[in-house]
Amino acid sequence: MSLRLAPGRRVALVGPSGAGKSTILAALMRLLDPESGTVTINGADARTLDSTEVRTLMTGLTQDPYIFQTTLRDNLRLAGPDSTDDDLARAVRRARLEPWVERTGWDAQLGEDGRTVSGGQLQRLALARALLYDPPVLLLDEPAEALDEETADSLMDDLLDATHDRTTLLVTHRLKGLERVDEIIVLEHGRVIQRGHHDELVGVPGYYRDLWESEALTRR
């Protein structure tokens, strides 16, 4: 496949399980190196860069975000040790977590693995942490996975608001809201089978339109 993430551009990867979506994210973060082809960052082969350096440039929200057994404030500061209280408040607001933080308090103790927060709050907390870290390229791996329909829709709306004009690669099996991204790439068995804008893809027969129509039926 060929993929270019230009500054400020948002691209979504969709496709069935096993299509290769998460593998692409792993290659971008140098958690693995491609057996053929190259990943380049500003023209430089990523394999010539230290893997930690690559992950400071391209990182983000994974499927299983981790919450440490410490305060809400300190959980956020893990991503930005030098963040001011205003920085934390701004990230929380952009992740649409402000009402929960106001109820809970900045010094509330959170349990490991997010035992004291709901699934939606956990993902929003991880999003706020990713925004604080502020990588040049934000990678989002199935952020709405395992959430109920209403919570997932709300999170995706907030996530797309928060990533406006931010270079973003979103891996998702949910199509709602993808009309707001610049390009959608459909993968199957590690190959690109469709690519284009949402309006283009729903206008032609194929995997994307089939999935869109299936989602529409379940929402009625």
Q: What is the predicted pLDDT for the residue at 114?
A: 47
Please state the pTM of the whole predicted model: 0.86
Specify which residues 171 forms β-bridges with.
Answer: 13, 141
Please report whether residue 204 resides in a domain: yes
Number of domains present in the structure of the chain: 1
Encode the chain (220 residues) as per-residue pLDDT tens digits. 889 999 999 999 999 988 999 899 999 999 999 888 999 999 999 999 999 999 889 988 776 677 888 899 999 998 888 889 999 999 998 888 888 999 989 998 887 544 568 877 888 888 888 888 888 999 998 887 767 788 788 878 888 888 888 999 999 988 989 999 999 999 999 899 999 999 999 999 999 999 999 988 876 6
Whole-angstrom Cα distance, residue 112 to residue 26?
Answer: 25
Q: What is the predicted pLDDT for the residue at 115?
A: 53
Please report whether residue 5 resides in a domain: no
Contact 34, 196 (CB under 8 A): no
Please report whether residue 1 resides in a domain: no
Please report whether residue 138 resides in a domain: yes
Please report whether residue 66 resides in a domain: yes
CB atoms within 10 A of CB 64: 12
Please report whether residue 173 resides in a domain: yes
Whole-angstrom Cα distance, residue 215 to residue 207?
Answer: 12
Q: What is the predicted pLDDT for the residue at 130?
A: 86
Residue 217 burial (10 A CB sphere; 0-12, 13-18, 19+): exposed
Residues in contact with 136: Cβ distance below 8 Å, sequence separation at least 6, in sequence order: 7, 57, 58, 167
Range of the domain at 201: 10-218
Please report whether residue 28 resides in a domain: yes
Q: What is the predicted pLDDT for the residue at 218?
A: 77
Q: What is the predicted pLDDT for the residue at 63?
A: 65
CB atoms within 10 A of CB 79: 19
Helices (H) and strands (E) in the chain, counts: 9, 8
Q: What are phi and psi of 188, to 5 degrees?
A: -150, 125
Please report whether residue 2 resides in a domain: no
Q: What is the predicted pLDDT for the residue at 145?
A: 76
CATH code, 188: 3.40.50.300
